[in-house]
Amino acid sequence: MKSFVKITAGFLAVVIISAFISYSIAGFNIEKVKGFSVTDRGSTYQKLKWKSNQNVSGYKLYQRNVNSNEYTLIATVNSEKTTEFTVKDLDMESFYTFKICAFKSFLGYEKTGEFSKVVETFTLPRGENIEKVSEERVSSLTVSWTCGINCTGYEIEYALNDDFSDAKVIDIPKRTTLSYRIDNLQKGKTYNFRLRSYIAQGEDKFYSDYCESLSATVKAVADDVEIDETKPVIALTFDDGPDFSGASKRILDVLEKYNIRATFFTVGENAEKNPENIKRKVSLGCEIGNHTYDHSHYGSDVKKSDITKCSDVIQKITGSRPTVFRSTGGMTTQTIKNVCKKEGMSIYYWSIDTRDWESRNAKKIIKKAMTAKDGDIILMHDIYQSTADAVEKIVPRLLKKGYQFVTVSQLVKLKTDSAPVNGVQYMSGSKTK
Ligand code: ZN
């Protein structure tokens, strides 16, 4: 009986003390944690900080589960003074939500305060690698890379020097874009490339590290283009250039963009004044033809020297003598044919005259050019802006219709199954005149 009283008394004492402790701890006012924020982030971690509370035992950090939307306790910080915590082993390029509260514990009892505001954050992109830099065409390089998980976009840097101090930056604001062609690079030069991915949040961008850099050399001379003999072919020809108005350059930009070839019947005197233009034409795989030295004589007035002097100029610039010729005004005489035969040149008239020199009207030029059929030779001049305007439209439209562009020698070879004959004048791939 005595012992029962003792036990009961002891039990009562424990209950009373517990109730007291629990009551006193309940009486603590635990403030909501303030200043909860992200101070640093990486691709697999988040560094969180908050303001210290008074008279607490520590803090409890919770992370929201993306699927259930419920919060799980991920860390307990057992110190009032510790006000930062790094959450590690997170997934890359992922979004996370955290919240925190302070707690007070006393003899096994615990009370937690109100939760802080939630912090919505994300880990940095893992950073993608450049898979390759390819060099299919003159003056251009194409960069391709691996796809990010959740990033917003990519930034490509390219530079001639190794430390990227002169780098140019290209923004690719779409995760699913995985290659980009950079045009107008310096031929024969080696460029360095590197890439980083980013997550955009409002105005800010959060970047991955740069991938290892890769270098590639810009092609200086176009490779031969494979011609599909079952598909129609057309030869674009341009006379009288090069010019200094920029028209010739614009036409070359179009040829370069679409990686196609044309033939330029050059005036020797103009070539002498603009050898860089001729060199670019050669590098693009175009054919350089003879169109007399100064375009001052026609038909029977054309002297042998008008022809040979032009070939001399072309040889000096390109290293080889032209093998194709077009008469000034298309007026070919037997004498011209004889000279060309001796000089190793076939002669070219045309089957479609755009009359670009006359109309100077892009619409009219396009209309004429679009009547072209398989085997046609189209006459234009690379000295008019209106012709350049037209070429910008003609090339993609004819390509869309399934035409391939070839030089005049290639055209004759394809249509006659043999090399063009010197001294013979062709007016299309197969017709002579
Ligand atoms: Zn001419």
pLDDT at position 205 is 95
Q: How far is the CA of 371 from the centre of ligand 1 (A)?
A: 22
Question: Which segments of 319-370 does DSSP mark as H helices, in order?
Answer: 334-343, 356-359, 362-369
Look-up of token digits 């072209």: 372
Name the DSSP class of 432: B
Burial of 226 (0-12, 13-18, 19+ CB in 10 A): exposed
What is the tens place of the pLDDT at every residue in 52-91?
A: 999 999 999 999 998 899 999 999 999 999 999 999 999 9
- Kindly state the tokens that stand for 202: 């409002």
What is the tens place of the pLDDT at every residue in 125-180?
A: 999 999 999 988 888 999 999 999 999 999 999 999 999 999 999 999 999 999 99
- Given pLDDT bands bounded at 50, 70 and 90, which one contains residue 15? low
The rounded distance, in Å, linking the Cα atoms of 313 and 308 is 9
- Which of 243, 306, 381, 389 is flagged as catalytic? 381
Peptide bond into 396 cis (omega under 30): no
- Which of 239, 240, 253, 389 is flagged as catalytic? 239
- Given pLDDT bands bounded at 50, 70 and 90, which one contains residue 181? very high
Beta partners for residue 229, in sequence order: none
Average pLDDT score over the chain: 93
Q: Which amino acid type is present at position 143?
A: V
What is the tens place of the pLDDT at every residue in 386-404?
A: 999 999 999 999 999 999 9
Q: How far is the CA of 295 from the centre of ligand 1 (A)?
A: 7
DSSP-based three-state secondary structure for 421: coil
Q: How far is the CA of 239 from the centre of ligand 1 (A)?
A: 5
CB 96 within 8 A of CB 78: no
- Given pLDDT bands bounded at 50, 70 and 90, which one contains residue 7? low
The rounded distance, in Å, linking the Cα atoms of 59 and 99 is 10
Q: How far is the CA of 310 from the centre of ligand 1 (A)?
A: 13
Q: How far is the CA of 240 from the centre of ligand 1 (A)?
A: 5
pLDDT at position 221 is 84
**425-426 and 95-106 strand pairing:** unpaired
Contacts of 253 (CB under 8 A, 6+ apart): none
C-alpha torsion sign, points 314, 316, 322, 327: positive
- Does the active-site annotation cover 381? yes
Establish how many alpha carbons lie within 13 A of residue 220's alpha carbon, considering only the half-sphere containing its beta carbon: 6
CB 223 within 8 A of CB 135: no
- Does the active-site annotation cover 376? no
Residue by residue, DSSP assigns 272-296 as HH-HHHHHHHHHTTPEEEE--SSS-
Residue 1 has pLDDT above 60, yes or no: no
Give CA separation, 331 vs 19, 398, 399, 428, in Å: 118, 29, 31, 16
Q: How far is the CA of 237 from the centre of ligand 1 (A)?
A: 11
The rounded distance, in Å, linking the Cα atoms of 295 and 239 is 10
Q: How far is the CA of 328 from the centre of ligand 1 (A)?
A: 5
Please, what is the end-to-end C-alpha distance for the chain in angstroms? Answer: 138
Q: How far is the CA of 379 from the centre of ligand 1 (A)?
A: 10
Residue 2 has pLDDT above 80, yes or no: no
CB 108 within 8 A of CB 141: no
Q: How far is the CA of 330 from the centre of ligand 1 (A)?
A: 8
What is the tens place of the pLDDT at every residue in 306-342?
A: 999 999 999 999 999 999 999 999 999 999 999 999 9
Nearest to 265 by CA among 325, 314, 321, 307: 325
- Given pLDDT bands bounded at 50, 70 and 90, which one contains residue 244? confident
